[in-house]
Amino acid sequence: MNNDDFDSFERAGWVGRAAAYQRGFARITAHTIPFLLDAAKVTADTHVLDVGCGPGIVTSAAVDRAADVVAVDADPEMAALAGAENPSVPVHVAVLPTLPFADNTFDAVVGNFVINHTGDPAATLTTLRRVLKPGAHLALTCWTYPAMRANGVFTEAVEAAGVHHPDDVPAGSPMSQHAQQAPFGELLTSAGYRDVRVDVLSWIHRVDPHAWWTDILAGTCVNAAVITRQDELTQARIKREYLRIVKEYATPEGQVALPAVALLASGVAPTGDGG
Ligand SMILES: C[S@@+](CC[C@H](N)C(=O)[O-])C[C@H]1O[C@@H](n2cnc3c(N)ncnc32)[C@H](O)[C@@H]1O
């Protein structure tokens, strides 16, 4: 699958998922928000752009810090939800790597789990650098690849059920090859950022196993596409395998405690004097 096909898959894949994403998967992505905002030095009055804002959870946290926030998302329903949650924030529909902003506009750019949804991560980093003021901060999170357990249990369940991964559903994303500490750092350095660092964030996502199944099927793209296009019996078989696999993480309260791991990359836009 080439980058344009990946982008087309993504555009179609998010349609109609915003509300379910907000109720479900956004609970796992929320964990990284304080680290992301700290890495981008977002404080009161920082003029910050939240890219791939989804339902606006990072935007809300930046508003809570009294930052001056602008947000964009490729999906109109996500953008509408982010705007409804944050009435004071201008929210635009924009598809990375294109952004409707002038050069040198922002003090900071943040993107929580969006770089792994873009067809061209390098071009996206170049655009983000363009809209950052010289010396301004970028911070991005991304899932590690191969997939960490909270996501990986679905791939494993599909395989255990003997289901072939459909050819027209991406097996990874163009970001997958960079989704480890050193390669992610090299991607930012190649795009011209300085003071680059990539940290690993690990946490436990506690969730009812049936709710997590629904969160993934209703509120995400790739695993949802693989599973929901199967017939009912096959979906039931995949779910049985999923429940068997996640038993390993069962808690006495009837939840599962799923390990999650993400990368947090940050860098500073060059000042033009080599510094
Ligand atoms: C996993 S969600 C992350 C949402 C939110 N940042 C969060 O922390 O939960 C990815 C979001 O990126 C958006 N997205 C995907 N590709 C994009 C692109 N090329 N440009 C802008 N947004 C994109 C999707 O519509 C979706 O809202």
DSSP letter string over 72-94? Answer: EESSHHHHHHHHHH-TTS-EEE-
Between 100 and 275, the more confident residue is: 100
Does the beta carbon of 78 lie inside 6 Å of ligand 1?
A: yes
CA-58 nearest atom, ligand 1: 8
Q: How confident is the prediction for the chain on average, in pLDDT?
A: 94
Q: Is 113 in the pocket of ligand 1 (CB under 6 A)?
A: yes
Q: Comparing C-alpha atoms, which of 45, 68, 71, 46 is closest to residue 58? A: 71
Note the pLDDT of residue 274. Answer: 44
Q: Is the CB of 219 inside a 6 Å radius of any atom of ligand 1?
A: no
Is pLDDT at 54 greater than 70 in this prediction?
yes
pLDDT for 275 equals 40
- Domains contained in the chain, CATH given: 3-147+169-204+260-268 (3.40.50.150)
Which residue is closest in CA terms to ligand 1's atom 12?
A: 52
Ligand 1 centroid distance, CA of 173 (Å): 13
| Ligand 1 in reach of 117 Cβ (< 6 A) | yes
The answer, yes or no, to whether any atom of ligand 1 lies below 6 A from the CB of 74, is yes
pLDDT in tens, 110-119: 999 999 999 9
Q: Which atom of ligand 1 is nearest the CA belonging to 124?
A: 19
**54 C-beta closer than 6 A to ligand 1:** yes
Residue nearest to atom 10 of ligand 1 (CA): 114
DSSP helix/strand/coil, 245: helix
The per-residue pLDDT for range 166-211, each reduced to its tens digit, is: 888 988 889 999 999 999 999 999 999 999 999 999 999 999 999 9
The whole-number pLDDT of residue 89 equals 98
pLDDT at 272 over 80: no
9 pLDDT more than 60: yes
CA distance 169 to 229: 11
Ligand 1: centre distance to CA 162 (Å):
30
Report which of residues 219 and 139 the model is more confident about: 139
Percent over 70 (pLDDT), the chain = 99
Separation of CA 252 and ligand 1 centre (Å): 34
Residues sharing a CB contact under 8 Å with residue 60, sequence separation 6 or more, in sequence order? 85, 86
